């Protein structure tokens, strides 16, 4: 005995007797006697430790070893004779043994006795803990499980005491390992292997309890739900301690707890509804902790970054699996509704906006996991989709949704859920594994999903429009033709209802609902295949007969024309040009017939006509206003797509412009402002006027400028005036000489637009003589001041969005023209929504800049008109070169649009399996690009911009084709037309199509195709990591590549869950590494 042991207390007599009995030949004792000796030894051992004082460590270790030998011998005898298991169900030996193990593993006195020895005490202590752990795992817990397997209500044997003791030990171990108990700082007590054995034992012991006995244990608070609730509580507390502890071991512990919670819930499905609230707190707490860890990581903490990564990549997916498991295990519809309503109420917590955002993110995770849900749970999750879309315009998540990443996450989650429901509804009739009720439920779920889409399409908001636009565009790429046509038809009907309602209320700017429906339908049509677009556009001429005398029908026609302009403008094509040209011709005929009648009625009314005709006159004016609106939309189509086809179309546009100018003059003269505004809007998008028409236009513009609601429309004419073949100084002079700060500012707007595009001599001529020095021709200080003020406020490089620009104008003019500024703001917003008034994002051209420089005071004034020291022929040569360059540039831009359009159409064809059609379009795109090559080589700067973008699109289509045919990435040498950056840009764009293809295959449960797409994307990512990409287009596309890879990995993970099942077996659970004495691999 050591010196430490000599000073220790003497062992109690009961312990000495029990050890003597266990040290003898055990085969001479029956099972009952062996178990009694084990019980006596354990009881005496616990009493010795609890008595305090210096403990004899050698006696403690010998006693523990003797107990282990006795228990092992008893188990061997019981296994040899199963009939003797009754002995195991008698006495309190199991409880005494559990108390001794608890003392060995968690007692302060036991720990202190060993660590007081400066020699090998710590190692000896570790041996005793491992001995107690192995005794539980190898002998006690299997013995109790075997004994409980034979129990029933008649045997009288109950595991309540043993289960309670084991549950208490498991909670103590969890508190210590989770570093919430002060004892975690003591060496050896923070032991993952002990924790693993205890909680595996709790789970396995519960599974051995017969069903008829479980109800009684549940009433005592000892059921599986109690264990699952305890585990979920540990998860929440460990999550909330991450940012304070910053210990990487916490992340591994959290993974262990989530696995354990899944296992417990899997062994007790009935406890799922009771555990829902606890499971729901896990992802909510994780999202809250992620925000705190992000702040700590921003301060330079590497542990915070590692913990954040663990929470994001490891814990959150598993926590969502817990929620899915709870939903899947719940078969009562009323319980499902209550469970999901609890989550939806979190989203509606207006006072706690951060909690609402956490609830929103949790909903997105659940929607992403919809493939793993049974039909009933997925059916009730449609309400979650509605809540997510409702939250977009709500105040709770408004700040968080400013993040583009979260907006894309909302769109992705909605698309994943919709795709799953759509696929389930499509495959349900042929799925023999489903019951008739489940097949009907799948169809109802998809119908409810579509109702949510259209319901929120009627709730105008920018974020809602963005998300729904992304969803519908992606659905168009993956949906069947019948479904696509159904959605197009439904949205089109809604658009017509909104347009007709606006027309019935009078002629005014489009409503927010109208604009949102127009944008959503444009997104859907732009992503639709060409045959679907052609079929949609073909209905224009068929409906013209109904529209002639009905303003509501004309408003619907205007909506259709706007839609066509958006779709063809986005793709750079003019697919609907023949139909639109026919509509324009018909509208011009109606205008020619209706305008004289309207003017005659207006003249007679002004001369004293009776009031009885007022109603009819108002209706006539409204009809004419909507007729002009439709004309404006038709003309805007050609302005957006590059002009009409053939000489007849060009002549029709010019004739229309002349007729509109004539109508504007009469409307302005008679004060018919409801017609003057539409006329101005149409003129802004029609070809330049002839000289005679401009002479009539000058007085009309002067009259219109006196009306603030028309002033903005007048300034919209500036680009059209700048394209006129002859100088129009008198037109711009009429604008610049207006009185009042607001109208003068608008005149400057028109002048600056004009100066950006016309020759310098026209700029000089456009300045009124009253604002120039008669002797030198230089600008007076007033004009210089106006130009300088305007260029500093509105025409600076990198100017902000339209809303900010309009707000700046209104603020600058608030004191002098408050009412007019408000009217201007509304008019400008209406024009910008139609795409007629663009924000300038570049500085003034050299013509206007040179004009300002020449007008600065200079003592040595020189003439800017003639100078003997200048060779005029040299400047004429330069002018000819610049004009030739501009012509080539316009040709390159127009042909590049064709290349880009053909390449996009080829990609759409490849998505739908039309390989031959795709080959034809790619060949046409290559031919068009080769035709431009001589021009590009002659003028290398022309390659940048439109041509380079078109080649990137071509490379993307070619790469997609090679992947589908050969399953590999195309090389740069195979894209002969592409330079290095164009090839790289095409490859990065190709990964987006790869992701879209993988999502489509995932809905068909083709895991191999998704895996293949993910592997190629990861390989491309690895190659791009070698490059040092600066800020630019390649860098932005590379950032999108990372997002695509993550989306593919999540999709693959969800497919694997669907294939393998939701619940992992306990014996398959890996033990988390970490802790002071992690042994690894321990199972009960």
Give the pLDDT confidence of 855-872 residue by residue, as tens digits. 444 433 333 344 556 777
Give the pLDDT confidence of 1028-1076 residue by residue, as tens digits. 776 677 877 887 888 888 888 888 877 877 775 543 333 334 444 444 3
- CA dihedral (519, 522, 528, 532) in degrees, to 10, reads 140
H-state helical runs in 81-120: 85-88, 93-106, 108-115
Mean pLDDT of 572-588: 82
Residue 253 pLDDT exceeds 80 = yes
Band (587; pLDDT cuts 50, 70, 90): confident
pLDDT (0 to 100) of residue 1054: 79
pLDDT (0 to 100) of residue 62: 84
Output the average pLDDT for the chain: 76
Mean pLDDT of 507-530: 84
166 or 52: which carries more pLDDT confidence? 166
Q: How many CB atoms within 10 Å of residue 857?
A: 8
Residue 476 pLDDT exceeds 50 = yes
pLDDT (0 to 100) of residue 366: 92
Give the pLDDT confidence of 549-565 residue by residue, as tens digits. 678 888 888 888 888 88
Band (758; pLDDT cuts 50, 70, 90): low
830 or 455: which carries more pLDDT confidence? 455
Name which of 196-200, 282-286, 471-475, 1057-1061 the model is least confident about.
1057-1061
Cα(111)–Cα(123) distance, rounded to whole angstroms? 12
Cα(13)–Cα(10) distance, rounded to whole angstroms? 9
Band (169; pLDDT cuts 50, 70, 90): very high
How far the first Cα of the chain sits from its last, in Å, is 35
Name which of 67-76, 366-375, 462-471, 731-740 the model is least confident about.
731-740
Mean pLDDT of 635-652: 79
Band (854; pLDDT cuts 50, 70, 90): very low
Residue 541 pLDDT exceeds 50 = yes
890-1060 is a CATH 1.20.58.2140 domain: yes
- For 343-411, the three-class secondary structure string (H helix, E strand, C coil) is HHHHHCCCCCHHHHHHHHHHHHHHHHCHHHCCHHHHHHCHHHHHHHHHHCCCCCCCCHHHCHHHHHHHH
Band (152; pLDDT cuts 50, 70, 90): low
Strand pairing partners for 252? none
* CB half-sphere exposure, 112, CA atoms < 13 A: 10
Mean pLDDT of 314-325: 88
Cα(939)–Cα(935) distance, rounded to whole angstroms? 6
pLDDT (0 to 100) of residue 692: 66
Highest-scoring range by mean pLDDT, 22-36, 744-758, 819-833: 22-36
Residue 467 pLDDT exceeds 70 = yes
Residue 887 pLDDT exceeds 60 = yes
pLDDT (0 to 100) of residue 770: 72
Residue 735 pLDDT exceeds 80 = no
Pair 356, 348: CB distance under 8 Å: yes
Share of the chain above pLDDT 70, in %: 74
pLDDT (0 to 100) of residue 1077: 38
CA dihedral sign of residues 23, 25, 27, 28: negative
215: left (phi over 0), alpha (psi -120 to 50) or beta: alpha
Among 559, 414, 411, 419, which Cα is nearest to 483's?
A: 419
Mean pLDDT of 966-986: 89
H-state helical runs in 505-613: 512-527, 530-537, 544-547, 551-571, 577-606
pLDDT (0 to 100) of residue 186: 80
Share of the chain above pLDDT 90, in %: 5
Among 232, 312, 307, which Cα is nearest to 272's?
A: 232
Mean pLDDT of 576-601: 80
Name which of 8-12, 215-219, 420-424 the model is least confident about.
8-12
Token code pair at residue 567: 């779709």
Q: Give the SS3 label for residue 772.
A: strand
Mean pLDDT of 587-599: 79
Residue 445 pLDDT exceeds 90 = yes
Q: What DSSP designation does 945 have?
A: T
Residue 596 pLDDT exceeds 50 = yes
pLDDT (0 to 100) of residue 1035: 77
pLDDT (0 to 100) of residue 415: 87
Mean pLDDT of 783-811: 45
pLDDT (0 to 100) of residue 1069: 41
pLDDT (0 to 100) of residue 261: 84
- For 778-818, the three-class secondary structure string (H helix, E strand, C coil) is CECHHHHHHHHHHHHHCCCCCCCCHHHHHHHHHHHCCCCCH
Instruction: Locate the domains of the chain by residue range.
Output: 1-222, 729-856, 890-1060
733 or 589: which carries more pLDDT confidence? 589
């Amino acid at each position: 005995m050591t010196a430490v042991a000599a000073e220790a207390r003497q062992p109690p007599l009961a312990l000495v007797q029990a050890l003597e009995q266990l040290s003898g030949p055990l085969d001479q004792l029956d099972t009952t006697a062996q178990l009694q000796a084990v019980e006596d030894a354990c009881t005496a051992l616990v009493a010795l430790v609890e008595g305090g004082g210096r403990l004899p460590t050698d006696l403690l270790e010998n006693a523990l070893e003797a107990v282990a030998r006795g228990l092992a011998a008893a188990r061997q005898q019981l296994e040899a004779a199963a009939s003797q298991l009754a002995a195991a169900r008698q006495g309190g030996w199991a409880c005494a043994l559990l108390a001794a193990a608890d003392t060995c593993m968690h007692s302060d006195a036991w720990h202190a006795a060993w660590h007081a020895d400066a020699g090998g005490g710590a190692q000896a202590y570790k041996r005793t803990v491992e001995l107690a752990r192995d005794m539980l795992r190898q002998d006690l817990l299997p013995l109790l499980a075997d004994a409980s397997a034979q129990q029933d209500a008649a045997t009288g044997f109950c595991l309540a005491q043993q289960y309670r003791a084991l549950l208490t030990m498991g909670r103590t171990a969890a508190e210590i390992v989770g570093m919430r108990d002060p004892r975690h700082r003591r060496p050896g007590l923070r032991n993952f292997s002990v924790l693993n054995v205890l909680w595996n034992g709790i789970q396995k012991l519960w599974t051995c309890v017969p069903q008829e006995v479980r109800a009684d244990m549940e009433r005592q608070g000892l059921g599986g739900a109690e264990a699952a609730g305890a585990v979920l509580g540990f998860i929440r507390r460990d999550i909330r301690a991450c940012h304070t502890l910053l210990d990487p071991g916490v992340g591994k512990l959290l993974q262990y707890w989530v696995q354990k919670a899944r296992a417990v819930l899997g062994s007790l499905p009935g406890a799922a509804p009771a555990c829902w609230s606890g499971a729901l707190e896990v992802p909510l707490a994780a999202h809250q902790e992620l925000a705190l860890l992000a702040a700590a990581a921003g301060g330079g903490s590497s542990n915070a970054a590692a913990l954040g990564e663990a929470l994001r990549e490891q814990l959150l997916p598993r926590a969502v699996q817990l929620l899915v498991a709870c939903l899947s295990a719940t078969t009562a519809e009323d319980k499902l509704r209550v469970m999901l309503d609890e989550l939806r109420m979190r989203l509606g917590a207006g006072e706690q906006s951060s909690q609402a955002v956490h609830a929103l993110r949790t909903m997105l995770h659940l929607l992403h996991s919809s493939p793993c849900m049974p039909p009933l749970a997925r059916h009730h999750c449609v309400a979650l989709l509605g809540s997510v879309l409702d939250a977009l315009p709500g105040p709770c998540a408004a700040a968080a949704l400013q993040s583009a990443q979260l907006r894309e996450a909302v769109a992705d989650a909605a698309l994943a859920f919709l795709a799953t429901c759509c696929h389930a509804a499509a495959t349900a009739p042929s799925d023999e594994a489903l019951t008739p009720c489940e097949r009907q439920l799948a169809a109802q779920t998809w119908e409810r999903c579509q109702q949510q889409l259209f319901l929120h399409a009627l709730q105008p908001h920018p974020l809602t429009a963005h998300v729904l636009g992304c969803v519908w565009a992606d659905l168009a790429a993956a949906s069947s033709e019948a479904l696509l046509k159904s959605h197009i038809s439904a949205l089109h009907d809604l658009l017509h209802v909104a347009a007709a309602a606006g027309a019935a209320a009078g002629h005014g700017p489009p409503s927010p609902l109208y604009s949102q429906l127009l944008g959503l339908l444009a997104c859907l049509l732009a992503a639709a295949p060409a045959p679907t677009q052609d079929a949609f556009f073909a209905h224009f001429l068929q409906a013209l007969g109904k529209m002639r005398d009905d303003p509501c029908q004309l408003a619907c026609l205007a909506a259709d024309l706007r839609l066509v302009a958006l779709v063809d403008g986005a793709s750079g094509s003019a697919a609907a040009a023949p139909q639109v040209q026919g509509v324009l011709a018909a509208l011009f005929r109606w205008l020619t017939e209706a305008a004289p009648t309207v003017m005659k009625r207006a003249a007679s009314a002004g001369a004293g006509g009776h009031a009885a005709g007022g109603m009819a006159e108002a209706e006539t004016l409204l009809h004419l206003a909507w007729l002009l609106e439709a004309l404006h939309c038709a003309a805007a189509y050609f302005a957006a797509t590059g002009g009409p086809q053939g000489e007849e179309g060009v002549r029709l546009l010019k004739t229309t412009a002349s007729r509109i100018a004539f109508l504007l003059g009469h409307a302005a003269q008679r004060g018919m402002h409801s017609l003057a505004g539409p006329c101005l809007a149409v003129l802004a998008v029609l070809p330049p006027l002839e000289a005679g028409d401009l002479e009539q236009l000058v007085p009309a513009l002067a009259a219109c400028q006196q009306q603030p609601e028309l002033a903005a429309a007048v300034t919209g004419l500036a680009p059209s005036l700048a394209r006129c073949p002859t100088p129009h100084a008198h037109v711009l002079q009429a604008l610049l000489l207006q009185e009042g700060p607001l109208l003068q500012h608008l005149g400057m707007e028109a002048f600056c637009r004009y100066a950006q595009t016309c020759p310098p001599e026209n700029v000089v001529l456009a300045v009124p003589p009253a604002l120039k020095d008669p002797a030198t021709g230089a600008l007076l200080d007033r004009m210089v001041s106006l130009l300088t003020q305007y260029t500093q406020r509105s025409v600076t490089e990198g100017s902000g969005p339209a809303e900010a620009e309009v707000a700046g104008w209104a603020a600058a003019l608030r004191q002098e023209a408050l009412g007019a500024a408000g009217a201007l703001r509304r008019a400008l917003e209406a024009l910008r929504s139609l795409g007629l008034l663009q924000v300038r994002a570049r500085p003034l051209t050299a013509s206007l800049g040179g004009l300002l420089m020449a007008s600065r005071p200079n003592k040595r004034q020189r003439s800017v008109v003639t100078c003997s020291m200048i060779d005029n022929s040299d400047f004429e040569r330069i002018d000819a070169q610049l004009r030739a360059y501009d012509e080539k540039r316009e040709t390159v831009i127009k042909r590049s649009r064709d290349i880009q359009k053909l390449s996009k159409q080829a990609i759409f064809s490849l998505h739908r399996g039309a390989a031959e059609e795709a080959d034809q379009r790619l060949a046409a795109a290559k031919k068009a690009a080769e035709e431009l090559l001589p021009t590009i080589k002659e003028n290398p700067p022309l390659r940048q911009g439109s041509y380079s973008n078109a080649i990137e699109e071509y490379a993307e289509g070619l790469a997609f084709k090679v992947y589908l045919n050969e399953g590999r990435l195309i090389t740069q040498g195979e894209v002969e037309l592409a330079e290095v950056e164009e090839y790289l840009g095409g490859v990065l764009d190709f990964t987006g199509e790869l992701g879209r293809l993988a999502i489509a295959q995932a809905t068909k449960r083709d895991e191999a195709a998704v895996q293949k797409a993910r592997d190629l994307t990861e390989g491309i990512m690895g190659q791009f990591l070698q490059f040092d990409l600066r800020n630019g287009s390649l860098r932005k596309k590379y950032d999108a590549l990372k997002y695509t890879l993550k989306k593919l990995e999540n999709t693959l993970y969800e497919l694997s869950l669907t294939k393998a099942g939701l619940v992992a077996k306990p014996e398959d659970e890996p033990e988390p590494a970490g802790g002071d004495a992690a042994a690894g691999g321990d199972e009960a």
